[in-house]
Amino acid sequence: MQTLINLKDIVKTYQIGTVEVQALRGVDILIHSNEYISIMGPSGSGKSTLMNIIGCLDTPTSGIYELEGELVHTMDDNKLAEVRNRKVGFVFQTFNLLPRATALHNVELPLIYSGISAAKRKVIAEDAIEKVGLTDRMHHRPSELSGGQRQRVAIARALVNNPSLILADEPTGNLDSTTGKEIMAIFDDLHNAGNTIILITHEKIVADHADRIVHILDGHIAEDIQVKNN
């Protein structure tokens, strides 16, 4: 198995005025390609902070982060953007689609930022939309789509650039349980198709889709269990 992510002694400290908040207090994780991982923990435990660091949206206060052999913790803003564009697909709890753009345009965005021509982009994006079963809705705006459909658009957008990992922060948090199940089925399919998936959730039922569950508590890893073998 190939090492994808190597986090060593990751610390993240936030400074609020004179008060220091330690969101992560020394996290070590090793993640391989094609793993399906859930990160669980109560609110405020540091899940989102960890996701931001893994997703290259933020850099740790100290510690080492290696992503496919590249040292992320030393990168500047522009280099991080490039890594996010090539290697990370985000799925957020609140979807984070551009409200005024069509589903297709939303899915095209990562391709725009990697400089792919309009004609090629359209083909690739339409393909990704087909994978999440929304071909008939691709010219609709987010406001014309249901929550589940919006999250499908977000998933299509996350996988359109063929990323090394898909990072989902509470992807079912804003959905009813039936729709949530449908979305989780898509993640399962994506995993079976060879994608690496990191799910952040506080719901056991969601976490159970993964092969490995990491429990985080007060900025520490409390438990790291391989629940299934793939």
Partner 1 sequence: MISFIISLRENILIALRALAQNKMRAILTTLGIVIGVLTVVSVASIISGLNTGFASQISALGSNTLYVHKYPWIIQDDFFKYRNRPDITMKDAEYLKEHSRLAEAISAASGTFRDIKYRNNSLTGIGVSGVTMETEIIEGFSIADGRYFTQIEIDHNKASVVIGNEIKEKLFNHKNPLGERIKVGDFSYTVIGVMEKRGSLLGHNLDSEVYVPLGTIFKNFGFHRSIRILIKVPSPEMIEQVIDEIHFLMRVSRKLKPQEEDNFSINQQEMLTNMYKQLTNGLYTAAFGIGALSLIVGGIGIMNIMLVSVAERRKEIGIRKALGAKQRVITFQFIIESIIICSVGGIIAILLSFLMSLVIDKVTPFPSNVPIWSVLMGLGFSSLVGLFFGIYPARRAAKLDPIECLRYE
Ligand X SMILES: Nc1ncnc2c1ncn2[C@@H]1O[C@H](COP(=O)(O)OP(=O)(O)O)[C@@H](O)[C@H]1O
In whole angstroms, the minimum distance from the beta carbon of 79 to partner 1 comes to: 9
Residue 82 contacts which entry, partner 1, Mg ion, ligand X, none (Cβ below 5-8 A, type-dependent) = partner 1
In whole angstroms, the minimum distance from the beta carbon of 121 to ligand X comes to: 33
Rule CB under 5 A: say whether 45 interacts with Mg ion. no
Distance CA 82, CA 72 (A): 11
- Interface contacts to partner 1, rule CB under 8 A: 52, 55, 57-58, 77-78, 81-82, 84-86, 90, 92, 94, 96-98, 100, 109-110, 112-118, 157, 161
CA-nearest of 148, 133, 141 to 98 is: 141
Contact criterion met (CB below 8 Å) for 28 and 7? yes
List, in sequence order, every beta strand (DSSP E) within the chain.
3-16, 19-32, 36-40, 62-67, 70-71, 88-91, 165-169, 197-201, 212-217, 220-226
34, 48, 85, 106: which one contacts Mg ion (CB under 5 A)? Answer: 48
Residue 23 contacts which entry, ligand X, Mg ion, partner 1, none (Cβ below 5-8 A, type-dependent) = ligand X
- Residue-wise burial string across 111-142, b where 16 or more C-beta atoms lie within 10 A, e elsewhere: beeeebeeeebbebbbebbebbebeebbebbb
Rule CB under 5 A: say whether 172 interacts with Mg ion. no
Residue 114 contacts which entry, ligand X, Mg ion, partner 1, none (Cβ below 5-8 A, type-dependent) = partner 1
CB closer to ligand X, 127 vs 224:
224
